[in-house]
Amino acid sequence: MTRVLAVLALLLAGAAPALALPQFAVRSAKACDTCHVQPVDWEDPSIDLRKCSLNCNTCHVSPTGGGMRTAAGAYYGRQVLPTWGTRPADEAYRAPKLAGGTAPAAGTAARYGGIEPNPTFQAGGDLRLMGDFPLGEDEENAFFPMQADLYLAARPYNPATLNGGRLTLLVNTGFRGSREEQFDDTWDRFFVREAWAMYHDLPNQAYVRAGRFLPPFGWRLDDHTAFIRQETGFVGRPLDHERQVTGVEVGFNPNRAYFHLAAFNAADDWDDPVEPDDGYGAALSAGWRDLVWHLGASLLYGSRDRDDQKLDQILGGVQWALSLQALGWAPLIYLGEYDVDHVSHDEREAVTSLVAFHELDWILHESLVARLRYDWRDADVDFAFDSRHQGVLGLEWHPYTFVDLNLQYRHRWTNHEDRFETEADEILFILHGWL
C-alpha cells in the first residue's frame, strides 16, 4: 500500500503554464501509469530520495512550472491526454513488467516508454494560435499567435546516477502576439522569456537556480488573462507569463510538501535584465499537495524608487484545490485562489485591492474537459462599485498527440445591473501544439 501511495503522489505534480496546467496535477491521481509505465516490482525509496512529487517539477524542467517538459510531463501528454495518436507505453514496454520481469531502472528511458529522462541536449516548444471574436459592435475579429516559445536546454554536468546533483542550463525564447499594432516589425516581437542555470536532482528534490525566471506566486495558469494574473500588477506590470525577473531562487519539495524562495531585481525588459531603477523584490511560495486536496500560500514583496517616487508593494494569497474524482464522488476538480494586494506610494494614498479565481472542471473523458471559471477583482476596497467580474465557459479537447483545442465564451460585467449585458463578451478559439 505504501508503494502505491508513493507512486500515486508522482501523478499529482502539475502545472500548467507552455505555461502550467494545475488542473492536471489534481486530476491525474487515479492511476499509477499516467506519468510512467506501470510500476510493477519497483523499489520504494525513502522520501528524501524519492522522485514522486506533488509539485510542478515532475512535469516541467522549471521547479515552479511552465515551459519545457520533463520525461514524466511528456509521458503524460502523449500517453493519457490524446484521443488518438501513438502512445509510449505500448506492448513492447508493458509485456516484461506484466510478465514479472525486471523493473526498469530508476532514471532510465524504460520507465517512460522510451522517453529519455535527462538528455544532455533537449529541445521543445509551444505554439498557441488564437481566434478572437468580440460580440461588441465596434470590435473586430482578430487572429494572431498568442504564444510561440522555443525551449533549449543543455546539461553539462549530467551523471547517470540520481540524487547526486545535476546542472541544467535553459533558454526560453518567445514571440509576442497581440491584437494591437504595437510593434515596429515582425522581429521586434521576438524576445528571450527565460534564461537560467539550475543545480538540482538532490535529496528532497532541493535545487538552486539563477537567471531570469517568473517569480513563484500562486497558480501558474496557461491562461494569462485570469484576473489573478493580468489584473494583478507587480511593481508596474501585470503578474502574468511575461513578468520575468532576474535573481536567485532556492527550493525543495520532498513528496507532498513544497517550498520556493526567490530574491530578484524586477527589471521590466528582457534586453535590459538588470536595472536598479526597476526595483527589487522577494517571493515565497509554500504548501502541501495531497492526493485529494492542495493547499498553499504565496507572498510577494517589491520596492521601487524611480524619479524620486517610491513604491512599496505586498501581495499575499492562498491557493487550494479539491478532487472529487479522487474521492470517488464525481469526475470534478475545483481550483481556487484569493489574493490581497497592498500598494503604498509616497505621493498618494495607499491602495488595497482584492482578486479571486474559481474554476470547476468536469472531466468528460481524459481528452475532453468542460470548464467553468469565475474571476473577480475589487480594485480599491475603499471605493464602492469598482469591482469587475468575468465568467468563462469552456471546452478543451486533446484530439491527437501534441495537439489540443480550446473553445471559450467569456462574459464580463461591472455593475450589478449590467450583469446580463453582452457588449463586452467574446468567443475565443485556441489551437495549441507542443513538443
Residue type present at position 31: A
For the chain, what's the residue count?
435
∠ CA 63-216-198, nearest 5°, is 35
Q: Which of 343, 333, 399 is nearest to 370 (CA)?
A: 333
For 259, list phi and psi in degrees, rounded to 5. Answer: -155, 130
Provide the whole-model pTM. Answer: 0.89
Beta strands in 272-347 (DSSP E): 280-289, 293-306, 309-323, 332-345
Q: Report pLDDT for 9.
A: 36
**Is residue 349, in this structure, part of any structural domain at all?**
yes
**Is residue 46, in this structure, part of any structural domain at all?**
no
Decide: helix, strand or coil at residue 277: helix
Beta strands in 161-292 (DSSP E): 166-175, 190-200, 207-213, 233-234, 237-238, 245-252, 257-265, 280-289
Q: 300 with 315: CB under 8 angstroms?
A: yes
Q: Which residues does residue 396 pair with via DSSP β-bridges, in sequence order?
A: 369, 406
Domain count, the chain: 1
| Consecutive H or E run containing 124 | strand 121-134
Angstrom distance (rounded) from CA 102 to CA 380: 62
Run means of pLDDT, 10 residues per run, the chain, 435 residues: 34 36 71 79 84 84 93 91 87 48 82 92 94 89 88 97 96 74 67 95 97 94 88 86 92 93 91 89 95 94 85 96 90 96 89 96 94 96 90 97 96 85 92 94
Q: 286 with 296: CB under 8 angstroms?
A: yes
Cell of 181: 499594432
Q: Which residues does residue 302 pair with via DSSP β-bridges, in sequence order?
A: 281, 313
Domain of residue 402: give its range: 126-434
**Is residue 41, in this structure, part of any structural domain at all?**
no
**Is residue 35, in this structure, part of any structural domain at all?**
no
**Is residue 65, in this structure, part of any structural domain at all?**
no
**Is residue 106, in this structure, part of any structural domain at all?**
no
**Is residue 424, in this structure, part of any structural domain at all?**
yes
**Is residue 422, in this structure, part of any structural domain at all?**
yes
Q: Report pLDDT for 415.
A: 78
Residue with cell 537560467: 196
Angstrom distance (rounded) from CA 142 to CA 364: 30
Q: 247 with 230: CB under 8 angstroms?
A: no
Q: Report pLDDT for 331.
A: 93
Q: 126 with 142: CB under 8 angstroms?
A: no
CATH number at residue 280: 2.40.160.10
